Amino acid sequence: MNKKQEYFHRESHAYMQYESDDFSFFVFQMINNLIGQFDSKEVAVEIGAGMGRFSAPVVNNFKQIYLIEPSASFCEALKEKFSDCNHVKICNDTADSLLKANFSCPPKSLIFVFHTLHHMNYEQRQTIFEIIAKKDLVGVFVEPNPYNLLILLQILITPEMSFSEEKEYLKLTRGTIEKEISVHKLKLEKFKRCCNLPPGLIARLLKNKRSIVDAFESIPTNFIPFLSAYHIMICRKE
């Protein structure tokens, strides 16, 4: 097992596994509110599904799901999590392989990329943007907020996290994403900062103190961009 495989192994990321899927449904609700109404609920693709940290609401809201994950170890976790879901296809593969295989799904389908773009280099991200453009899909990206210093602190103090594997998030500002997607004539249609409390704390508060979470989410972040943990970006063809 090389260093990359060791890092993206289910036993190396225990901190990513929450007791419930409440947090993922919370984020998905904000995506739903931002988009307004999905063009199609037939097919959805999630690239870099990991161990399913954000996958449950996607699985619950679409008729056919493709969970794409290059880590064999993470795929095993996905198979366990969604073992009873016949409409879910788990693919131990990469976005690059999908493009070469001429992967097809209906136009306007959603392609979700949760917390994954920063684990890719520029060329790998361009592959995803090319898929979105060629297939006329809608891209939904949820990424760590590069202005939030608490995320950097988390990387530095969490033994399971590696700065070399996470540092790319510092580059992925709104402007950078807009520049990168424009190569394939995609536009950033919607942008929203979210999670004004640390995600782990939100996950705990959602159980019986949702009002606290909602109160913090109501704080405008236009002039305090460092407050939110994530930003949501929706892109499609110009």
- The whole-number average pLDDT for the span 192-221 is 93
pLDDT of 50 above 80: yes
**How many residues are there in the chain?**
238
pLDDT of 210 above 90: yes
Give the distance from CA 184 to its chain's centroid. Answer: 20
Task: Name the residue range of residue 140's domain.
Answer: 3-237
CATH code of the domain containing 177: 3.40.50.150
State the DSSP H helix or E strand holding residue 187, giving kind and residue range, or none if neither.
strand 186-194
Locate 84 and state its tokens: 């009873």
Question: For 138-160, what is each residue's pLDDT tens digit?
Answer: 999 999 999 988 877 877 777 77
- Nearest CA to 78 out of 63, 93, 95 is that of 93
pLDDT at 234: 96
Strands 110-114 and 88-91: unpaired
Question: For 53-79, what is each residue's pLDDT tens digit?
Answer: 999 999 999 999 999 999 888 999 999
Please answer whether residues 128 and 139 qualify as being in contact, where contact means their C-beta atoms are separated by less than 8 angstroms. yes
Side-chain half-sphere exposure of 66, counting CA atoms within 13 A: 20
pLDDT at 2: 47
CA distance 58 to 65: 8
Locate 37 and state its tokens: 């109404």
pLDDT of 18 above 80: no
Question: For 78-89, what is each residue's pLDDT tens digit?
Answer: 999 999 999 999
Locate 212 and state its tokens: 């606290």
Confidence label for 216 from pLDDT (cuts 50, 70 and 90): very high
Helices of type H across 40-162: 56-61, 72-81, 95-100, 122-134, 149-157
- Write out the chain in H/E/C secondary structure: CCHHHHHCCHHHCHHHCCCCCHHHHHHHHHHHHHHCCCCCCCEEEEECCCCCCCCHHHHHHCCEEEEECCCHHHHHHHHHHCCCCCCEEEECCCHHHHHHCCCCCCCCCEEEEECCHHHCCHHHHHHHHHHHHHCCCEEEEEEECCCCHHHHHHHHHCCCCCHHHHHHHHHCCHHHHHHHHHCCCEEEEEEEEECCCCHHHHHHHCCCCHHHHHHHHCCCCCCCCCCCCEEEEEEEEC
Structurally, the chain folds into a number of domains equal to: 1
